[in-house]
Amino acid sequence: MQQLVILGATGTIGRNTLDVASRHPQKIQVVGVSANRDDAGLFAICQEHRVGWAAMADEAAAQRLQLRLREAGLPTKVLSGAQGLCELAALPEATTVMAAVVGAAGLLPTLAAVEAHKRVLLATKEALVMSGQVFMDALRNSRAELLPIDSEHNAIFQCLPPGSHCGQTPRGVRRLILTASGGPFRTLPMEAFATVTPAQAVAHPNWTMGQKISVDSATMMNKGLELIEAARLFDLPSARIDVLLHPQSVIHSLVEYDDASFLAQIGSPDMRIPIAHAMAWPERFESGAASVDLAEVARMDFEAADLARFPCLRLARESLEAGGTAPAVLNAANEVAVEAFLHEQAAFLDIAACVESTLEAMDSAGLAQPNCIESVLAADAWARAHAAQHLGVSHA
């Protein structure tokens, strides 16, 4: 039986993971869960699933959770802070860790799971984007197993030759094609971008996601981060990874082989499909997702991504090709800008402008090469401070 820890249990991925796990009680036991500040949400999960361990990034929230558990007579042990999340990720009894903490906060606990030799189900793309080679080196030096959860990377993984593993260049593959819905602004007149509101940006046409990833989808930074992640996961250069808009979100990605044949993974836009695939791999089991009715879909459209409309995608590819600390700087500046936008402290167009400004200032910052986790975190901290200064917002 798999002993499962879910990092980010109160988020969209976390709740979908709990749903899939609950369908297979003879195969999966949830032994640990974490959240950032939502102690009420995590308490409800602890109560329903009777988990042995819980961790909260926020110290005050951890104290509130401890009190709730004590009053309910539940024996769940509570950990707190960044160290608590890392301890939970490396829990000795855990065999599998779902890494679904949003943003840079997920890096250290995901690395802790890798270093503890777990099967890591990777939904925290920022961990790979930020740390790149450091992360992949840790994976190669560990007995850990990495399986991708992002629908696009999971689709690619499903289409690769048998015996393929993350971190290894797949045999006979010419290129990877990541598909993107284009988000809510695929056809919006570009002159309207100046007045886009957070409510408009988070209203994704196909997927139900958290606020940050929804904004990233609207700017297509999400696809840019996935581009960088794909290069790390499948050990391929930028030139062999393409992005196509596919508004129906039925084909989740494609693999083109050297003989010019394509393999594609098709499924409904439901994150329980890649979650169930990774949890059951190399077998299959029921996910709870509905099947795609191809007759109802009727058509599948594809178009090239417009980089003038979506400059964040261009910036992400440039960062991948620049290497070094550029991906970490890109990610950090974007997180600051998106947070400012969601709090109405910045305009929608400020997001790409802030990221570009931060990347341009990087060369004069004297950042060290990202050959250890400390240098990655230093680049992240510098980029956050620069981005906050650019936007004129406070930086914690």
| Residue 89 tokens, joined | 């990720």
151 is in an annotated binding site: yes
284 is in an annotated binding site: no
Is 226 annotated in some ligand binding site?
yes
Q: Is 152 annotated as a binding residue?
A: yes
**Strand 241-245 to strand 303-304: parallel, antiparallel, or no bridges (unpaired)?**
antiparallel
Question: CB count, 10 Å around CB of 2?
Answer: 16
How far is 46 from 248, CA to CA, in rounded Å?
37
92: tokens are: 């000795």
Report d(CA 283, CA 281) in Å as an integer. 5
The answer to whether the annotation marks 181 as part of a ligand binding site is: yes
357 in a known ligand binding site: no
Question: Three-state SS for 19?
Answer: helix
How many other CB atoms sit within 10 Å of the CB of residue 353?
15
How far apart are the C-alpha atoms of 341 and 366, rounded to whole Å?
29
374 assigned binding-site residue: no
For residues 292 and 250, the answer to whether their CB atoms sit within 8 Å is yes
Helix then strand then coil, % of the chain, to nearest 5: 50, 15, 35
> At 218, which amino acid appears?
A
210 is in an annotated binding site: yes
Q: Distance between alpha carbon 379 and the CA centroid of its chain, in Å?
A: 20
Q: In Å, what is the CA distance from 96 to each residue of 86, 157, 206?
A: 14, 18, 29
Spell out the residues 6+ positions from residue 150 whose beta carbon is closer than 8 angstroms to its own.
Answer: 122, 123, 125, 226, 229, 274
Q: Is 22 annotated as a binding residue?
A: no
Nearby residues of 44 by Cβ (< 8 Å), 6 or more positions away: none
Neighbours of 269 (CB within 10 A): 18
Which residue matches tokens 């550029």? Answer: 326
User: Is 125 annotated to bind ligand?
Assistant: yes
- Is 87 marked as a binding-site residue? no
- Report the alpha-carbon distance of residue 370 to residue 332 in Å, rounded: 14
The answer to whether the annotation marks 217 as part of a ligand binding site is: yes
Q: How far apart are CA 55 and CA 152, in angstroms?
A: 29
- Binding residues for 1-deoxy-D-xylulose 5-phosphate, as ranges, are 125, 151-152, 181, 204, 217, 222-223, 226
- Binding residues for NADPH, as ranges, are 10-11, 13, 37, 126, 210
- Binding residues for Mn(2+), as ranges, are 150, 152, 226
- Binding residues, as ranges, are 10-11, 13, 37, 125-126, 150-152, 181, 204, 210, 217, 222-223, 226
